Amino acid sequence: MIRSLVCVLACAALSASADPDLQTPEFDTTPDGLPIIDGRAFASWDEYTSSDLFRANGLRCGTRAFDDAFAESPTDCGSRTNPADQYDPSVALYRIPVVVHVIRRANGSGSVTEALVQSQIDILNEDFLAMAGTLGADGNDARIEFYLATQDPAGNPTTGITYSSNDNWFNDRGSYWTSLNWDPSRYLNIYTNSASGALGYVPWLPHQASPGSSEDRVVILWSAFGRNAPVGSPYNQGRTATHEVGHYLGLYHTFDGGCGSTSCYLSGDRICDTNSDSNPQYNCPLSSATCGTPDPIRNYMNYTTDLCMREFTPEQARRMRCTLENWRVDLADRVDACAPDLTNDGSLNTADFFQFLALYGAGDPQADFAPGNGINTADFFAFLAAYQAGC
């Protein structure tokens, strides 16, 4: 009952406290899945995202900050942040199963291929794990990993991808999540459709409403999903999903709350190691300094272009991990520091080796010791290296 009341109040506050200069435009799509905004039709999503209308309405992200006075937040990552050592990434790896619900128009337009879906999962891992040799390499490893679910809620094998054809749902209408969701307390549900004219959004931060309820979701514009997505530069490298999953795991925009007025853990974006920031930045303005210090234009939680973004800060990583421990407690599998101890008997021995071979042969996500591109020989050699290094 309390959480339901919180949800009602929070959702009401969302629309009331968003930037008053930002208006929600009337939105529709053509039969080809292209945007019509306030009656104006665009020839491509690229033309739309390059328009003044896109920026004027703040549609880099449709997630709006709202007043935490309505939020139920008794923990370390609600309306305040506690960057305690217990949330440090060195403690454990968290692995999150993902289901991607691809919603297309009845004529098939707006679809997303399985290859693009997998590339988006790869990008999430590159960014959240700061993987060497990728665009996310310069960031900080949050030790949060994502994988397409291999079992559906009934225990049946799955690709972790569903497809639906429905014009109303494609236009982000009709409470499609009530029909499509897989238990949101156990799966990260990502939906691709027209995202109401934004590149993406979440309905609320987890401490501000009802994590695990049917409407708990991440929504991404279909044409901005995956690597080299069809929306075109500068939003085609999958960073919209990185940004929105950051919200899903409890992060504010870097500019939410402006320059802040009290402790940096209680105001602004509730993070002290992101520089204060009073407005969203677009493009990649290296000299921007809205609060007297350089703005965090490289941060995934700003509004800059995909290739400008490159990091979560260490305290943002701790806040996301805190969210998993306090608000999304059933979502992730926790892999403690001794990952090769697959039999969980406190020691490394041949039983762990044979257990790995069994998992590897079955394609089980526990055998994914080298994140990205599924289960392959790289995981075998990564397990051997971890096994030989010991615990």
Distance CA 160, CA 391 (A): 32
Nearest to 79 by CA among 13, 143, 145: 13
SS3 readout for 207-233: HHCCCCCCCCCEEEEHHHCCECCCCCC
Helix ranges (DSSP H) in the chain? 2-17, 45-49, 52-56, 114-128, 167-170, 177-180, 239-248, 314-326, 350-362, 377-389
pLDDT in tens, 95-114: 999 999 999 999 999 999 99
DSSP 386: H
Pairing of strands 92-104, 161-165: parallel
Q: State mean pLDDT over 75-89.
A: 88
Q: Which two tokens stand for residue 56?
A: 């004027």
Distance CA 238, CA 120 (A): 6
Phi, psi of 94 (to 5 degrees): -110, 130
Handedness of CA 351, 142, 181, 165 (dihedral sign): negative
Residue 301 scores a pLDDT above 90: yes
Task: Give the pLDDT band of residue 14 (cuts 50, 70, 90).
Answer: very low
Residue of 72 and 258 predicted with greater confidence: 258
Q: State mean pLDDT over 247-275.
A: 91
Q: State mean pLDDT over 281-290.
A: 94
SS3 category, 365: helix
- pLDDT at residue 59 in the model: 82
Q: State mean pLDDT over 263-270.
A: 89
Q: State mean pLDDT over 61-76.
A: 65
Looking at the chain, the whole-number percentage of residues with pLDDT higher than 70 is 89
Distance CA 10, CA 224 (A): 28
Cis peptide before 371 (omega within 30 of 0): no
Q: What is the mean pLDDT of the chain?
A: 87
Distance CA 148, CA 5 (A): 33
Contacts made by residues 334-337, CB under 8 angstroms, sequence distance 24+: 334/92, 334/93, 334/94, 334/95, 335/92, 335/93, 335/94, 335/95, 336/91, 336/92, 337/90, 337/91, 337/92, 337/391
Is residue 126 annotated as a catalytic residue, yes or no? Answer: no
Lowest mean pLDDT among 21-30, 64-73, 303-312, 340-349: 64-73
Looking at the chain, the whole-number percentage of residues with pLDDT higher than 90 is 61
Q: For residue 102, what are the contacts with CB-CB under 8 A and spacing of at least 6?
A: 111, 112, 117, 161, 162, 163, 164, 192, 222
- pLDDT at residue 2 in the model: 33
Distance CA 347, CA 343 (A): 9
- pLDDT at residue 16 in the model: 33
Residue of 50 and 236 predicted with greater confidence: 236
Instruction: Judge contact between 267 and 257, C-beta under 8 A.
Output: yes
From 126, 145, 244, 325, the catalytic residue: 244
DSSP symbols for 271-320: -SSS---SS---S--TT--TTSS---TTBTTSS--TTT--B--HHHHHHH
Distance CA 370, CA 216 (A): 29
- pLDDT at residue 74 in the model: 54
Rg of the chain on CA atoms, in Å: 21
Nearest to 144 by CA among 187, 97, 96: 96
